[in-house]
Structures are given as C-alpha cells and as structure tokens.
A and B are shown apart, each in its own frame.
Chain A
C-alpha cells in the first residue's frame, strides 16, 4: 500500500530545475528519523503505562521519494507500507501527528515552541536542513499557512535545546601536528586560531606527508559545532581533505596570472599565461622545501623577477619565452656572481634548484 505523506517545497537556485540535489537526501533521511522518534514519544504519552512502544511499531513506516513536481522542487514523500500501518485505527495516526507537530515546531515563533514537542528531539535539526545554503529554504504546508525552514531557523531550533548547533564547514589552514592514536591532527587556521580535526584512517598518508610543513595549505570539508554567535567550537567530522602544495607560491602565481596588459600604470605587458603556467607548475611542485621562498614580481616586459631577502641579494630574471634564468648575487667581497640557466627540461630545472642552495638560504623549520 502507498499513501502520500508530505510534499515539502525546496526553494533556491539549486532547485529551479525541479530536481533535488543528492545532498538533500541526508536531510530527508534525518526528517524520517525525527518523524519516527517523535511518533514513539507521542504513543508513549498516550499510553503512560507502557515502557516502550509495541514491537514493530515503526517497522512499516518507510518514506519513499515518489516523484518531484515543479514549483521549485517539490518532492512527494509517501509511506510505502506492507503491513497494517495505513489501515484505520492503526499506529499510523501517530506518524501523522508527528508530522503536524514537526511542522508546528518549524512555524513556531521564536521562544514559543509547541509544548508537546520534546526539547531533546530538536537535535534532529542538526541534520534535517543542514544541506540548505544561506539563500535556500524549505516550505511545509500547514492547515493554515506555511512553515518555513531556513538555515537561520534551523540554527535557532537546535539552540533552543542545546548550546551548540552543527553545520557544514570548509576551513583552510596548515597541519601543525598529528595524533595517530586519536586519528586527529591540529590545524592552524589562516587567522592563527587552531582546531583539532578528527580524520579517518584513509587520510593518514596525506597528512603524514605534509604535517608540520607550513607551505602546504589544507582544506577540510566536514561538520562543525558552532555556538549561537557562530563561533566554531569543535570540528566533528572531516569528510574530505584537499591539499594545495606550496600554497604561497601557487597563490602568488595566481595573482601574477591576473595581471592584464597595462598593469603598470597603463604600460607593462602581462606575462604569457601559458608560459606562466609552465613555470608555476615547476616551481609549485619542485621548489625545494628546505629553501626560503623568493618574492616574485612581474617585470614590465612580461617576464618574472625572483628575489631573496638576504645579504647576498640573490635574484633571478626568468625570461619566459627563452625559458632561461639569469642569476645574480653579490659575493661577500662585493664582486658579482652571475650564471645563466636554461630551463627546458627537468634536468635543467633540477640543476637550477640545486644551485640555489648556496644563495637562497634555508628555512628555519621544514
């Protein structure tokens, strides 16, 4: 047997094509769990002599996504039951009551939640609605009016029952150290604050390679717990970890790539983007981690200057079209040290990087 249960309306740019992103599936799953848990509480309230609900109380309650109708995106969720749930007088009424109560809870004014709604179940809103973006919402029809769940409303609902609420995070920083026993690492955010990030075994190799090296930026996507002032209190899960090797260098090359002809007060050629990519790839992947990074600027001719800040004043003029590097430094006696390096293959690049050993200076920490 099949019976329509609810048809929420998802509103936002992602739903304009009358489709439902898979992200939302986990929200609907949480909704189903909330309906079941609340129905159990309602049953027990009506039957105070019972310690628990009858065996198989919710065994027949399964929400299925039957179809998605236009009007933004309106998934029709139906109960598909093999047993007696949908028969008159069966426990199905409790699921209907549960649905109404969830809707009332969403629609309630701030601080005026329905008394019948158990406060400890508000935690389900940590997951139900979590995939919504800031400009998205879900509407549920009430007998009079509409209940609207927005990210902000979701936050307030959770915080009505707890001190923290959960939402998706994407944070960037550097791995300071790892705790393999606890399977976690300490991330220093770009603003200097720190978080402990739990990680699955699958991320161990990646973290082992870059741990302690502040040249590699780590982007963590997962779930974080926030307080009512939206301060991150704890990272709960890390679902994906991406590593940007030699982040400072790649950021600098991205900036250089943004230069347009005329960047120097109306004059100045922009570096050729293809040649710049070629140089960037070599520098980002192979620049020795033991060496201090150079300042890199474009020259008005569309080439690059690399310069290190130390007593020998080493510099390299990279001529992109020629794929060559003109090196210059001052010897301590004041004389010039000059060399030209062709940079047309890996061997020549390696030779170039090796020659910087004497001049670029070593990083304080690896």
Chain B
C-alpha cells in the first residue's frame, strides 16, 4: 500500500439518497472501534470488491467509492492493511487518531474526495 493506493469503500444503500452519497458512508460504525473497513485497491478491482461484498459476504452496497491513502492521510487519519482469513484485500482507515467529535468532519472530507473521483462501480439501474 502506498500513497496512491485507492481504498475502496462500499456505500450502504441507506447512505445514498436519490443518488446523493452522504458522509455516513465514510463514518466508522461504533462497534468497529473507530476502524472503517475498505478494500485495498492494489489487490482487487472495484467491481470484484462489490461482488465479494454483496455475493460472498451477502452485505448491502449501493456502489463503490474510493479515496487514496494520501487523501486519507491528509484528512488527519491513517490507512493500513488488515487482512482477514479468506479476505486478504481487507484494509482499514483508523479514525481513532482523532477525537470522536471530529469524525463527521473527516467523513465529509473523505466523501468530497470520493465524489471528485466518481463512483468506481455500481450496478446499472
């Protein structure tokens, strides 16, 4: 993983309203202890990550958006590989380096970067 590595984030369909991506897609879930799960774009394409997320894991995704590791760093958080059993492409963005009351702001910075890059993969309507 380097500064150019794209980190692929699956956006839950409840976080996309009438096509508008919200920053909630980039906000860590409380149970994940401030770690936001992403796919390491050096190891898997956006389309394959979508298939893995929805078909293999059976989870919900409205589409795949991406931020680079460099963008994550400049937002004030960090990204690192965190491979799991049978899921070597798993990576995390660690929000714990910031106070929890700053997470919304960071999520919005990441959303901005992701929107500038455009949706990486989504099923056609």
Contacts and interface: CB of A to CB of B under 8 A. Distances in A.
Contact of B17 (A252, A300, A301): A252
A317 B14 contact: no
A267 B29 CA distance: 9
B14 A297 contact: yes
B59 interface: yes
B29 A305 contact: no
B105 interface: yes
B105 A305 contact: no
Contacts of A252: 17
Contacts of A268: 29
A297 B21 CA distance: 10
A295 B59 contact: no
Interface in B6-56: 12, 14-15, 17-18, 20, 22-24, 27, 29-31
B104 A336 contact: no
B14 A328 contact: no
Given A264-B29, A295-B17, A297-B17, A336 B22 contact: no
A297 B108 contact: no
Nearest to A256: B14
A364 interface: no
B112 interface: yes
Given A267-B31, A296-B17, A297-B17, A307 B105 contact: no
A265 B108 contact: no
Given A267-B29, A315-B23, A297 B104 contact: no
Given A259-B14, A264-B12, A298-B14, A305 B23 contact: yes
A300 B17 CA distance: 16
Nearest to B60: A265
A330 B23 CA distance: 14
A259 B12 CA distance: 14
B106 to A, nearest CB: 11
Contacts of A295: 17-18, 20, 22
Interface residues of A, number: 24
A313 B112 contact: yes
A263 B12 CA distance: 10
A265 B20 contact: no
B30 A300 contact: yes
Nearest to B101: A326
B20 to A, nearest CB: 5
Contacts of A267: 29, 31
Given A267-B29, A299-B24, A305-B22, A328 B104 contact: yes
A307 B23 contact: yes
B23 A265 contact: no
A159 to B, nearest CB: 37
B59 to A, nearest CB: 5
Nearest to B17: A295
Given A252-B17, A264-B14, A297-B17, A313 B108 contact: yes
The 7 closest A-B pairs by CB, nearest first: A295-B17, A295-B20, A265-B59, A307-B22, A313-B108, A300-B29, A297-B22
Given A297-B17, A298-B14, 12 more contacts: A259-B14, A265-B59, A265-B60, A267-B31, A295-B17, A297-B15, A297-B24, A299-B27, A309-B20, A315-B104, A328-B105, A336-B105
20 contacts: A263-B14, A264-B12, A264-B14, A264-B29, A267-B31, A295-B17, A295-B18, A296-B17, A297-B14, A297-B15, A297-B17, A299-B24, A299-B27, A305-B23, A307-B20, A307-B23, A309-B20, A313-B108, A317-B104, A328-B105
Interface of A: 252, 259, 263-265, 267-268, 295-301, 305, 307, 309, 313, 315, 317, 326, 328, 330, 336
